[in-house]
């Protein structure tokens, strides 16, 4: 035992060892046990199975603290834990989702530990197990039980939205319609930069310019494109006001004006326009009344939907009727109606599935180009952005669209396998989201 390596013991364990040693000392002084040339340290070693140096070290620490305290105080040494990482970007979220669903395809039960190993290898995820659990919960996974065993289950609304999207895209492919238009908006901050990059030591950039603290001002970019390249004259770039909330500046009024005046006139007939579910994309043309509406407004809305609400119903009862009618009808959006009037169709991405949009890849290319040359001056940022947009070729767009279409085709096949695997179980949904 005396040759054993030094161990990291908890404060509680060290306190127990100290108290055992004190007991043996008192036992010796009271002569309740006689062992000849007995040593309290040796007896403590025998009782606790610790080496001599450990006993000496702990007793010294405890005796030193007794000079100022009535009881010994031991310092707690905290174990270093992996960092908490919950802010991974949309692309990594998609990789994580596909990693989980790949277990379903293989007819295996995914666990946090197995997923953690996979995403560490695939995306360099540096978070801990708890971080991964939180991210999975945020992107729509929860736990159920199958035969008493916990089962990581995708939320039904997200799985249903993906299945609907994949089925719709298959129908579009089957009709031979290749005019897919991908649109999105993104933001570039004044102090946006790459975290790491390789560069020629002879380059002036090699001297480096440390980015200022904070994000700085922001430029908003709204654009669209297809496999032929960016849609002509569809670029909208403007600087956001420094009011702390750029969502107030990219709103449904700005988006609808751009959609009508810059997108629709510049795309081919019978195009399929693919966009996400941002709130300003999804303003309803016949928005249901809410608590702020008057009772008369609620009654009129219900009558327009073919209902005949009795006059004696209270406002809360009327809103319950609104909820039932709303659930029975598919929402109608302003943007969809504008597109349909011009012979186009709008298809919305399922939540947390940005990898189905080719413009996400183009946006990443543009941002990376700006970041490598950014000098953190707002006067230069717009010109850098224009230069980056001009460098995007039709070939870049074609590759991005082909990549997305290959993912969609593959996921269409996998989605069938996923649903068959999940349908084969009787799943009891649990209230706990912990494994």
- pLDDT tens for 256-307 read 999 999 999 999 999 999 999 888 898 887 778 888 888 888 888 888 888 8
pLDDT of residue 36 exceeding 60, the answer is no
Spans of all domains in the chain:
11-66, 82-175+423-435, 176-420
For the ranges 158-172, 215-229, 361-375, the one whose mean pLDDT is highest = 158-172
The sign one gets for the Cα dihedral 31, 33, 38, 42 is negative
Identify the three-state secondary structure at position 34: coil
pLDDT of residue 44 exceeding 90, the answer is no
The CA R_g of the chain, rounded to the nearest whole Å, is 32
Confidence (pLDDT) at 275:
95
pLDDT of residue 131 exceeding 80, the answer is yes
Q: How confident is the model at residue 18 (pLDDT cuts 50, 70, 90)?
A: confident
Q: How confident is the model at residue 432 (pLDDT cuts 50, 70, 90)?
A: very low
160 or 123, which is more confident: 160
Average pLDDT over residues 136-149: 81
378-420 per-position pLDDT tens digit: 778 888 889 999 999 999 999 999 999 999 999 999 998 888 8
Confidence (pLDDT) at 199:
39
CATH topology of domain 176-420: Nucleotidyltransferase; domain 5 (3.30.420)
Q: Could you give the C-alpha distances from 390 to 232, 265, 387, in angstroms and in order?
A: 12, 21, 5
Average pLDDT, the chain: 80
pTM for this model (two decimals): 0.70
Cα 288 to the center of its chain, rounded Å: 30
Confidence (pLDDT) at 234:
95
Confidence (pLDDT) at 53:
81
The single residue listed with the structure tokens 């039932």 is: 324
pLDDT of residue 162 exceeding 50, the answer is yes
pLDDT of residue 233 exceeding 90, the answer is yes
Query: CB within 8 A of 308, min separation 6: which ones?
Result: 302
Confidence (pLDDT) at 216:
63
Strand-pair partners of 263:
none
Does residue 113 come out as left (phi exceeding 0), alpha (psi in the -120 to 50 range) or beta? alpha
Confidence (pLDDT) at 163:
93
Element (H, E) at 336: helix 334-341
Confidence (pLDDT) at 74:
58
174-226 per-position pLDDT tens digit: 988 778 999 999 888 776 665 544 333 443 343 345 655 556 678 889 999 99
The pLDDT > 70 percentage for the chain reads 78
The pLDDT > 90 percentage for the chain reads 28
Confidence (pLDDT) at 402:
94
pLDDT of residue 126 exceeding 80, the answer is yes
301-346 per-position pLDDT tens digit: 888 888 888 888 888 888 888 888 877 667 788 999 999 999 999 9
pLDDT of residue 29 exceeding 80, the answer is no
Confidence (pLDDT) at 426:
63
d(CA 318, CA 287) in angstroms, rounded, equals: 15
pLDDT of residue 144 exceeding 50, the answer is yes
Average pLDDT over residues 160-185: 91
Query: CB within 8 A of 43, min separation 6: which ones?
Result: 24, 35
The single residue listed with the structure tokens 């009787």 is: 426
Query: CB within 8 A of 38, min separation 6: which ones?
Result: 28
């Amino acid at each position: 035992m005396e040759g054993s390596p030094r161990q990291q013991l908890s404060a509680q364990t060290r306190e127990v060892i100290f108290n055992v040693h004190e007991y043996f000392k008192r036992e010796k002084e009271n002569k309740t046990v006689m062992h000849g040339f007995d040593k309290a340290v040796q007896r403590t070693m025998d009782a606790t199975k610790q080496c001599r140096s450990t006993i000496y070290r702990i007793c010294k620490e405890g005796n030193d603290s007794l000079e100022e305290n009535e009881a010994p105080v031991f310092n707690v040494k905290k174990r270093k834990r992996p960092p908490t990482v919950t802010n991974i970007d949309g692309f990594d979220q998609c990789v994580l989702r596909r990693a989980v669903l790949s277990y379903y395809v293989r007819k295996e039960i995914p666990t946090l530990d197995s997923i953690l190993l996979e995403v560490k290898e695939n995306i360099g995820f540096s978070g801990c197990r708890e971080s991964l659990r939180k991210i999975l919960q945020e992107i729509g996974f929860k736990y159920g039980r199958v035969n008493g065993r916990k089962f990581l289950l995708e939320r039904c609304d997200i799985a249903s939205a993906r299945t609907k999207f994949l089925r719709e895209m298959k129908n579009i492919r089957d009709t031979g319609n290749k005019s897919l238009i991908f649109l999105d908006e993104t933001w570039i901050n004044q102090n946006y930069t790459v975290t790491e990059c390789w560069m020629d030591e002879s380059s002036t950039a090699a001297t480096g310019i440390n980015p200022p603290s904070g994000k700085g001002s922001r430029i908003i970019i709204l654009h669209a494109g297809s496999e032929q390249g960016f849609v002509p004259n569809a670029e909208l770039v403007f600087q956001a006001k420094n009011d702390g909330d750029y969502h107030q500046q990219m709103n449904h009024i700005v988006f609808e004006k751009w959609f009508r005046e810059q997108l629709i006139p510049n795309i081919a007939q019978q195009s399929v326009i693919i966009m996400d579910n941002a709130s300003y994309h999804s303003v309803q043309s016949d928005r249901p009344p809410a608590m702020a509406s008057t009772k008369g407004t609620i009654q009129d809305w219900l009558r327009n939907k073919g209902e005949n609400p009795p006059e004696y119903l209270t406002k809360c009862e009327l809103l319950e009727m609104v909820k039932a009618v709303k659930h029975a009808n598919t929402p109608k959006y302003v943007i969809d109606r504008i597109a349909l009037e011009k012979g186009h169709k709008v298809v919305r991405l399922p939540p947390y599935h940005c990898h189905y949009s080719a413009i996400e890849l183009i946006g990443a290319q543009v941002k990376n180009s700006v970041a490598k040359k950014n000098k953190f001056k707002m006067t230069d940022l717009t010109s850098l952005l224009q230069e980056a947009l001009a460098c995007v070729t039709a070939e870049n767009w074609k590759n991005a669209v082909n990549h997305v279409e290959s993912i969609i085709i593959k996921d269409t096949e996998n989605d069938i396998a996923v649903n068959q695997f999940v349908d084969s179980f009787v799943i009891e949904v649990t209230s706990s989201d912990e494994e």
